Amino acid sequence: MSSSHMDNIPSTPGKFKMEKSSYIQRCRHFSSVAKLTFFVFLGLILVLFFKSPSTSSLSSSSSSPYSSSSSIASDLSRRSLKTSSWGGLAWEKRVRSSARIRSRNGFSVLVTGAAGFVGTHVSVALKRRGDGVLGLDNFNDYYDPALKRARQSLLERSGIYIVEGDINDAALLKKLFELIPFTHVMHLAAQAGVRYAMENPGSYVHSNIAGFVNLLEVCKSANPQPAIVWASSSSVYGLNTKVPFSEKDRTDQPASLYAATKKAGEEIAHTYNHIYGLSLTGLRFFTVYGPWGRPDMAYFFFTRNILKGKSIPIFEAANHGTVARDFTYIDDIVKGCLGALDTAEKSTGSGGKKRAPAQLRVFNLGNTSPVPVSDLVSILERLLKVKAKRLVMKLPRNGDVQFTHANISSARREFGYKPTTDLQTGLKKFVRWYVSYYGSVKKSDQ
């Protein structure tokens, strides 16, 4: 992989300036029954997590046609905190060097999930404008770790060091905060994917709930406390039928375990903000795509399978209804992440105690232009110059929803968020990267 791949990473200008507008986090008014239903569901999730690992692995294996002892071992490895050794003078030197602020009034940012799709792009954008950036990632095998290692190499060329470790490792997190007085945390580490929750549900609770709580526990005790921007998801809207989706809409009807863990994260964020004074901003991402993306996303594996001559599933809802997504290009998401970071107020706690009310926000980051999945395939056909073998199927009951559509007025008002990349333009950039990175149809088998 050559250094030319850096050309596919977005350049992001300096910090956003917040307009003189106030943002008040309005409480959502749910019925008492809806609240009770959600928290009972959350309780069941926690019970699931605290089952023995072997039980979780066996249930995961029984639901998969590829079950074997190796898949059980793989599941356990995902949950292991011993992903890599850390510590020592040389290690501390690399940590400090990566996190060093190189611009006036710059931030020192811990980016969790830095070897992930969004994490890589955000890390490079922060570093380019002079912020200190330290990455953290456990490099799990939910999808090809080689792609994550390639992103790691890209970040290293930008002067960004990724600590290999798990967000559930409290000792590691405490050590990092001892070494670096982070002003901000960009929390992007998570177990992603809607359908995989049916195979390995425990991994979602482990990362998206237990891991988030562990990170907040360390942040609450840090001095100074950092401001935290974290990745929620558009999946929290679940079975909501009102469009476009607004932050004021109800989010107590999750359609997947993934969505339920992200909704739980929003409630947990409220708790730590209320009790400990942590400044928290949640970002509900809408179907992010682009270069260096995730192989489990439809646009990615559609591209791979079209090139290989394999059929691709095109889902349709009941009565031949259209399935559509609010596809959002990665550069636009990065601008939203930096805008949220730049307008995040300081946390108000000290020594684990709240001193004053703190900022609590949630924003949609989408493109506001839902596109039918069939149209996505047509664009890929034109760009790849290959006809796709379409296999029309009913939308399965595995957590997928029929449509997503973001109302972004809050993000636009608070930090000028304005997506500018249409799907045709964004997919053209993705295909160019894909062909450059994988090189040939055979290599794209990875």
pLDDT above 60 (res 8):
no
Model pLDDT, residue 416:
98
pTM for the model stands at 0.83
Span 369-380, average pLDDT:
96
* Dist CA 75 CA 78 (whole Å): 5
Query: Mean of the pLDDT values across residues 353-362?
Result: 97
Average pLDDT over residues 356-382: 97
Decide if pLDDT at 322 tops 70: yes
Going by pLDDT thresholds of 50, 70 and 90, the confidence category of residue 350 is: confident
Does residue 446 surpass a pLDDT of 90? no
Instruction: Indicate whether 83 pLDDT > 90.
Output: no
Which token pair is 407? 């109302």
Rg (the chain; Cα; Å)? 21
Tokens of 105: 């009034």
pLDDT of residue 389: 95
- Exposure pattern of 329-365 as b/e (b: 16+ CB <10 Å)? bbbbbbbbbbbbbbbbeebbbbeeebeeebbbbbbbb
Out of 141-155, 258-272, 394-408, which region has the weakest mean confidence (pLDDT)? 394-408
Task: Give the confidence band of 401 by pLDDT, cuts at 50, 70, 90.
Answer: confident
Q: Indicate if the pLDDT at residue 260 is higher than 50.
A: yes
pLDDT attached to residue 403:
76
321 confidence band (pLDDT: 50, 70, 90): confident
pLDDT digits (tens, 9 = 90+) for 264-283: 999 999 999 999 999 999 99
**Confidence grade of residue 160 (pLDDT, cut at 50, 70, 90):** very high
Average pLDDT score, the chain = 85
Per-residue pLDDT, 43: 57
For residue 120, pLDDT over 60 is answered with yes
Residue 80: is its pLDDT beyond 90?
no
Average pLDDT in the 75-95 region? 72
Q: How far apart are CA 225 and CA 280, in angstroms?
A: 11
Q: Does residue 162 register a pLDDT over 60? A: yes
175-184, 290-299, 330-339, 399-408 — which is least confidently predicted?
399-408
Is the pLDDT score of 185 beyond 90?
A: yes
User: CA quadruple 128, 7, 155, 326: dihedral positive or negative?
Assistant: positive
- Over residues 211-221, the pLDDT tens digits come to 999 999 999 99
Helices (H), 138-182: 145-157, 170-179
Q: Is the pLDDT of residue 115 over 80?
A: yes
pLDDT digits (tens, 9 = 90+) for 419-440: 999 999 999 999 999 999 998 5
The pLDDT assigned to 27 comes to 39
Q: What local confidence, expressed as pLDDT, does residue 9 receive?
A: 52
How far apart, in whole angstroms, are the C-alpha atoms of residue 413 and residue 229?
18
Mean pLDDT of 405-426: 98
CA angle 432, 381, 311 (to 5 degrees): 110
Confidence of residue 206 (pLDDT cuts 50, 70, 90): very high
201 Rama class: left (phi>0) / alpha (psi -120 to 50) / beta: alpha
42 falls in which pLDDT band (50, 70, 90)?
low
DSSP states of 385-411: T---EEEEEEPPSSS--SB--B--HHH
pLDDT at res. 85: 83
The more confident residue out of 52 and 385 is: 385
Q: Identify the structural domains of the chain with CATH numbers, from first to last.
A: 2-56 (no CATH), 78-437 (3.40.50.720)
Q: What's the confidence (pLDDT) of residue 38?
A: 53
Weakest mean pLDDT among 124-128, 397-401, 435-439: 397-401
Catalytic annotation, residues: 258
